[in-house]
Amino acid sequence: MDFNDILPAYDRVADHWAKTRNTSLFEVGALTAALDGQKDATVLDLGCGSGVPIAAWFTDQGCAVTGVDGSKRMLDHFRGNLPDARAVLADMRGLSLGQQFDVIVAWDSFFHLSRGAQRTMFPVFKAHAAPGARLLMTTGPSDSEAMGQVGPEPVIHASLSPDAYRALFAEHGFEVLWFRPEDAEFHGHSVWLAQRSGGIA
């Protein structure tokens, strides 16, 4: 398994993933912080999966959600769950929507990219972030590479070091608001919240 196998793996496991994905909204504290009280916000969900529970939560808050996934089968579930949301079949690594968003989310998706691809995602984040936009994403807690499992499929994860991420955020005009590594509230996820320059933290 290498990083190019991720999207085909999620195509094969999409039905299982949609049935078994934790929908308890343990992420809600992070989602609320990313939205920061905005009304009618535009949200870009990168690696949106089935849209439940994250994109669905933003939709329930009155946001206009664009879901992007490179797995057609995952996006089929997204369209079924959120028929009024915009769904885009695309690999996030080459994304160019020509639109800026108030919130960008990459929850449990960005960390499936290689270290090199993660670095080249920061210009993509910048291009799609409106002034003051908040970016919420999960990584590993430290520089690492590991194998995981989704249903019967092995999946690979990678992470840079926190210092490397901080440097990339700063280089591309984002201020880190907080980093919570292996946080119990978020079921052990390591979560970043950053804000694009031009807004008030």
pLDDT digits over 72-120, tens only? 999 999 999 999 999 999 999 999 999 999 999 999 999 999 999 999 9
H helix count then E strand count, the chain: 6, 9
Q: Residue 198 has what pLDDT?
A: 79
Q: Could you tell me which residues are beta bridge partners of residue 176?
A: 194
Q: Residue 134 has what pLDDT?
A: 98
Domains, the chain, in order of start with CATH, read 3-18+38-196 (3.40.50.150)
pLDDT digits over 56-68, tens only? 999 999 999 999 9
Complete edge-to-edge strand list for the sheet that includes strand 101-106: 86-89, 64-69, 42-46, 101-106, 129-139, 189-196, 174-183
Q: Provide DSSP, 112-157.
A: GS-HHHHHHHHHHHHHHEEEEEEEEEEE-SSSEEEEEEETTEEEEE
The pLDDT mean for the chain works out to: 95
Q: Residue 201 has what pLDDT?
A: 44
Q: Residue 1 has what pLDDT?
A: 56
The Cα 48–Cα 75 span in angstroms is 8
Q: What is the mean pLDDT of residues 31-48?
A: 97
pLDDT digits over 139-160, tens only? 999 999 999 888 888 999 999 9
67: left (phi over 0), alpha (psi -120 to 50) or beta: beta
Q: Residue 4 has what pLDDT?
A: 78
Q: What is the mean pLDDT of residues 176-191?
A: 98
pTM for the predicted model, two decimal places: 0.96
Alpha helices for the chain (secondary structure H): 6-20, 28-35, 54-60, 72-81, 115-128, 162-171
Q: In this structure, which amino acid lies at residue 35?
A: L
Q: Quick one: pLDDT band at residue 70, thresholds 50, 70, 90? A: very high
As given in the structure block, the two tokens for residue 95 are 């994304």
